[in-house]
Structure 1
């Protein structure tokens, strides 16, 4: 489908969604994208469900997003758009979310702005969910508290799962760039372009945009830092629980990982779809469910263009966006993600034997940090550090080495319901504190008590994050000064209260950096093979010790 035909097909729908005769009881913004009427909530103006690209439906499925043309009249922006199609939440999962509607027509964003904003810093949030689930409309991501700190806050939807990340030889052949996959990332870039072009009308400064995300959202932040197509669209970055994993190459088997195109072809065969036309003919929800059942898991693809190379390689070369960064991870990341753990060993002796076999000369250092006399805790900590801790410290070290402001944190906070469930400092546990939404967590989330201490921690974290978005320096009135990582390995320890410390988990980063370096040199993946399932570590390579 050509761009012109997509515009024509969407015309009737667009006109039906816009009316010039709305009740004059909401704020109206005249943006280059078109006029919109939002909702006034006290001192804020909120605009929901703003489309930033044409719906990627029908023949447009698995094509790059096309910018939404300006709409006529005044578009109502009082309701969130549909979430992108995704599998249902696992029953009882603390991350379960209720979405009012799911659709392939989901490329919308939302804006919270101070009523009198002008030239305000912009905070663009990318939700997590393994590139498989989530929505920018989830109550925990409500932007009001950060907007009341003087930010213009934007949340977005982007294509998920097989609809957002499928690579396939036929799709590459269709593409003018001869690549495929990365559609969800291209959506994020399109949303950032929309922000650059339109956010001034909402009171934001397009030259002072911070892109932020958690988990898969933080992976997306790294993708954006690595992608030439996102260059110049943001000025700062926040990566919460990011993971710099081995990324599939589009066409080649590298680091033992199947090429992304081959994975797409294999999926089509598994689903009985002989070509892309057959896959496009499938219902989006049915396709998503079938792909998940067949074992498809979404990742970006190293295609030489949207993602030029492995993240770890690009950061080593200094080819990433030269922006200040705030990055960190949580002490109990894996306590709520136990599916990431390898099977438990028979006993402590079996654990130690496996570590010695897998880590060779580095086994003593590994066992000193993750000892055999506490196998469960050691496994939790080893997987946490190899994925999240190493990534966070690598990010701040890389940016700091370029002379950029770089700030590291550890979220190590517990409260009664979380600790009772064995979830101290669990994955994503910092989010309601950053957003000031401790009363609006998902339904199975360990309930946060409404206490002065919890509110004070939330206030401090939101203040730090807002200050970083404003100036590139996360400082909060009445709280410890957060020093850059380059100053003696400084970091902020969020426990019961914020505590400024140095030397996070001394030796952790050096150990995992050495492991990753050896594996990269030997063309071995450096993730999903941690601890007792580690393959024999190759000998030291040049520059790895």
Structure 2
């Protein structure tokens, strides 16, 4: 009996590992058959009076060997993610773009048409690695755009660990048959997706052009949290896309600058984003969109990228408004996603030394699967003289930025997940702050003391009661909300409409941590049944309408919505997005004064 119980328990655990690892269902069958074979073999050995320690050891060795081989041989295949969740979706009418004819697919209730995996530039492979994106090639016949293109090259998390993170972190893991695969990944990744309402409009529709986040190192356009189906139902067209990441997107070297006809290097991912925006401007009318009413949007590194597009001379005239969530690059010395050219080139030197080559051209011969493993830091844009011609804050000081209105903001607990493994104590608190604020760490510690008994109402977040809580508060301001403080101040000086939010809503998933607002703003709470309440859905409905109104008019306000006051010289409050939506004082205003002092040391 004990033997049988152990076999059954181990088999159940093994099946769970196969499920979490996304192994194909054949692996389940083989695992179960192996367990049955173990039980049958033991019974037969007992009947023959041959059951002993030696036979038991042999049986277990064979059993474990079969399970191990089965785990490897039934590993999940790689495939592109379907454009919609419904099986066998209906196909749309043919749409004609510059490169050729294409079709998309309908979502389940036929309310939205999704055109996924449309190439917006030529594959950046071979000689085109580390070069500006080239125009997409034409195709013959009708292209079926019914699945997302592969995600850009990036470090891939083991699927078992990824599943565990969704159980322990997002709390949204579900056992689903049909998802036994891993998303395809390729250097050939320059594809975009269009979400359009099914019903035709008498007038061209405004467009939301979304740039995904991921520290310029990870991310994919298929991610459920910013798919555009629900926003499209409200009368806008949503576009998102993949772009080159990490070493493929942000590697910089002088020899590449010399070979470029535009004298550029280090911003290939940003140039991909701009190429995608240009493609949308040139082709969106075919989907019912208005090329003269484009809003660029992004979160985290995507928001930093939006900030970069606002200053790039290459985007002038390609968009109207900007939506920026949880990041920017307007500090004199940005804390992330932006670096000096000298720093970019130095990291480029590291890459060549790492792979034992002397030129960037030799790096083109390194397989993408190997190059992506670089240990160097390739997660930042730079001033290349082409896509970005000067430090972004200088462009804003001159009033030469492009956005005609801004919707932007941040979440209550922006930094908490990034500092999860950081051990903070009263003794090392200032030292940790000094890693980014140097001599001004002591000043910050006076504003947010390490021994604060709790995060008080001034910060409008939950009590922590230790130095770790204080560190989270400080770094949420340093890394994330400070850039929005600067962005709003510049636009107020310029007389450009700007609206700032503060997302504090708690829930059973990502809550109000970094990226927690995404499924609310883009209408994807329904993809996580059981994790969100009626209050969450009500907030999401309001946020979606704010976002859509803004894309239509440059003003988020509308009938039935709580008033979102525009920032001006006399109005510096934020709109708190929670069960109760109201204007409040910025909880980090005193922290910004310290960061201002630190930033003033850079000319």
Q: TM-score, normalised by structure 2?
A: 0.74
Residues 307 and 448 (structure 1), Cα distance of their counterparts in 2 relative to 1, 3 Å cut:
farther
Deviations 1:43-92 (A, max 9, x none): 22211110000101111111100111443332211111111111113724
> How far apart, in 1, do the equivalents of 2:277 and 2:222 lie?
17
Q: What displacement does 1:366 show? A: 4.7
**Structure-2 change in CA distance of 1:477 and 1:366 (3 Å):** farther
Q: Which residue of 2 aligns with 1:500?
A: 583
Aligned to 2:383: 302
Gaps of 5+ in 1: 1-22, 253-257, 442-446, 522-545
Distance of 1:182 and 1:376 partners within structure 2: 35
The correspondence for 2:480, drawn from 377, 381, 388, is 388
Distance 1:424 1:455, change over 3 A: closer
User: Where in structure 2 are the equivalents of 1:54-453 lying within 5 Å?
Assistant: 54-89=122-157, 91=161, 92-93=164-165, 100-115=183-198, 116-117=200-201, 118-244=203-329, 245=334, 247-250=338-341, 252=342, 258=343, 260-289=344-373, 291=374, 294-338=375-419, 344-345=424-425, 347=426, 351=429, 363-364=442-443, 366-373=445-452, 374-415=466-507, 417-418=508-509, 424-440=511-527, 449-453=531-535
Q: How much has 1:177 moved relative to structure 2? A: 2.6
* 1:490 aligned residue (567, 573, 579): 573
Matched residue count: 475
Residues 137-173 of structure 1 show CA distances to partners (whole Å, capped at 9, x for unaligned) of 1122221100011000001110011111111122112
* 8 Å Cα contact 1:355/1:367 also seen in 2: no
Q: Give the corresponding residue for 2:5.
A: none
Greater Cα shift, 26-35 or 118-127: 26-35
Cα distance in 1, alignment partners of residues 470 and 155 from structure 2? 32
Q: Distance in 1 between matches of 2:451 and 2:431?
A: 10
The answer (yes or no) to whether the contact 2:192–2:240 under 8 Å persists in 1 is yes
Cα offsets for 1:83-133 (capped at 9, x unmatched)? 111111372445899852011111000001112144101001110111111
Please state whether the residue corresponding to 2:500 is helix, strand or coil: strand
Distance 2:209 2:438 in 1: 40
TM superposition shift of 1:228: 0.8
Match of 2:121 among 53, 56, 62: 53
Retained in 2: the 8 A contact 1:370–1:381?
Answer: no
Matched, 1:28 2:94: yes
User: Larger relative contact order (C-alpha < 8 A, sep ≥ 6)?
Assistant: 1
Question: Deviation of residue 29 (structure 1)?
Answer: 1.3
Q: Which residue of 82, 99, 111 maps to 1:43? A: 111
Q: Partners in 2 of 1:380 and 1:179 — Cα distance?
A: 37
Please state how far the C-alpha of 1:197 moved relative to its aligned partner.
Answer: 0.4
User: Following the alignment from structure 2 to structure 1, what is the Cα–Cα distance between the partners of residues 298 and 440?
Assistant: 37
CA RMSD of aligned residues (A): 2.6
CA contact (8 A) 2:154 2:245 kept: yes
Kept after mapping to 2: 8 A contact 1:249/1:303: no
Do the aligned partners of 1:370 and 1:379 also contact (CA within 8 Å) in 2? no
Q: Quick one: distance in 2 between partners of 1:485 and 1:370? A: 30
| Secondary structure of the structure 1 residue equivalent to 2:101 | strand
Deviation at 1:176, TM superposition (A): 1.6
Question: Does the CA-based 8 Å contact 1:86-1:160 persist in structure 2?
Answer: yes
1:457 aligns with 2:539: yes
Which whole-Å CA distance do the structure 1 matches of 2:441 and 2:255 have between them?
Answer: 44
Deviations 1:518-545, CA, capped at 9 Å, x for gaps: 2x14xxxxxxxxxxxxxxxxxxxxxxxx
Measured at CA, do residues 122 and 344 of structure 1 come closer, stay the same or move farther in structure 2, by a change above 3 Å? same
Give distance in 2, aligned partners of 1:195 and 1:157. Answer: 14
Residues of 1 paired with 2:218 and 2:438: CA distance? Answer: 35
SS across alignment from 2:115:
strand
In 2, the alpha carbon distance for the partners of 1:361 and 1:180 equals: 34
CA distance in 2, matches of 1:199, 1:120: 10
CA distance in structure 2 between the aligned counterparts of 1:212 and 1:103, rounded to whole angstroms: 25
**With structure 1 as the length reference, what TM-score do the two structures score?**
0.81
Deviation at 1:448, TM superposition (A): 6.0
Q: Provide the secondary structure at the position in 1 that maps to 2:600.
A: helix
CA distance in structure 2 between the aligned counterparts of 1:296 and 1:372, rounded to whole angstroms = 34
